[in-house]
């Protein structure tokens, strides 16, 4: 039974089984995917916000659908369900998460996300750094056996992405989660209605350590200590 009022972070490390799969070289090149949605056999995805350090993707699942079993050799991925339950499989474990759960998928961990509901579903995918084509596919229920994602993504990008955030001063609700993009300064009043925050641009000095874009933590840390943001620091609270 899942406690819907409990926030939980799952930190998923490489397992013995991940290490048995022969690794391949994949491109480590930043590509701007902000203009178009990318169609997938399980639905589609679009870039909500991105720069060279981070990218925030929204995955829109069809009913009864799933991604491939895949890994990212050179980037860390965070997965956050935004609506109904998401099932996540690795090579050795199975998880179920609601919109108060975050999965941290470390480099090289093979994973597969499932929407087992009879309706469409939503999930956020945060990637650090922004290397969309950094992916190795191990198994796919839709018969996609190639790993040239730069060609595959370009081929399936035909619909304009009208939801990309260019002005970092905006609130937007996606599924059950409210995202608040804004410029942070020392006088900012920190709202307790948000659980997490992510640095998008600039830096924040927190407990004598300079944190850079891609830094993700609980909002409570900003309430429990003095923090000093640099000039033009932008964050998203969610």
Q: What separation in angstroms does the CA of 154 have from each of 36, 60, 131?
A: 9, 18, 14
Q: What is the pLDDT of residues 42-80, one digit of tens each?
A: 999 999 999 999 999 999 999 999 999 999 999 999 999
CA distance 113 to 134: 17
Instruction: Walk me through the domains of the chain, giving residue ranges and CATH numbers.
Output: 8-155 (2.60.120.10), 170-237 (no CATH)
Q: What is the pLDDT of residues 158-176, one digit of tens each?
A: 789 999 999 999 999 999 9
CA distance 90 to 41: 20
Rounded mean pLDDT of 181-187? 95
**Beta strands 196-201 and 204-206, pairing class:** unpaired
| Confidence class for position 152, pLDDT limits 50, 70, 90 | low
pTM listed for this prediction:
0.91
CA distance 38 to 138: 20
Q: What is the pLDDT of residues 85-116, one digit of tens each?
A: 999 999 999 999 888 889 999 999 999 999 99
Transcribe 151-203 into DSSP letters: HHHHHT--SB------SS-EEEEETTEEEEEEEE-TTPPPPTT--EEEEEES-
Nearest Cα to Cα of residue 149 among 89, 70, 90: 70
Nearest Cα to Cα of residue 177 among 100, 68, 74, 70: 100
């Amino acid at each position: 039974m899942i406690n819907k009022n409990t926030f939980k972070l799952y930190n998923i490390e490489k397992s013995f089984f991940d290490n048995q799969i022969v690794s391949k070289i994949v491109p480590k090149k930043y590509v701007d995917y902000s203009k178009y949605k990318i169609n997938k056999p399980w639905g589609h995805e679009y870039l909500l916000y991105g720069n060279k350090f981070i990218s925030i993707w929204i995955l829109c699942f069809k009913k009864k659908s799933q991604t491939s079993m895949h890994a990212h050799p050179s980037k860390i991925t965070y997965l956050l369900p935004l609506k109904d339950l998401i099932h996540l499989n690795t090579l050795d474990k199975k998880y179920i998460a609601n919109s108060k759960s975050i999965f941290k998928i470390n480099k090289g961990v093979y994973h597969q996300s499932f929407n087992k509901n009879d309706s469409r579903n939503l999930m956020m995918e945060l990637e650090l750094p922004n290397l969309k084509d950094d992916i190795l596919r191990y198994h796919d229920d839709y018969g996609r056996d190639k790993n040239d994602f730069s060609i595959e993504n370009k081929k399936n990008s035909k619909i304009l992405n009208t939801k990309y955030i260019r002005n970092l001063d905006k609130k937007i609700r996606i599924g059950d989660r409210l995202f608040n993009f804004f410029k942070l300064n020392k006088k900012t009043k920190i709202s307790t209605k948000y659980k997490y925050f992510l640095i998008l641009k600039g830096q924040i000095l927190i407990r004598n350590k300079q944190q850079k874009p891609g830094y993700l933590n609980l909002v409570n840390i900003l309430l429990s200590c003095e923090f000093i943001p640099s000039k033009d620091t932008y964050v998203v609270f969610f």
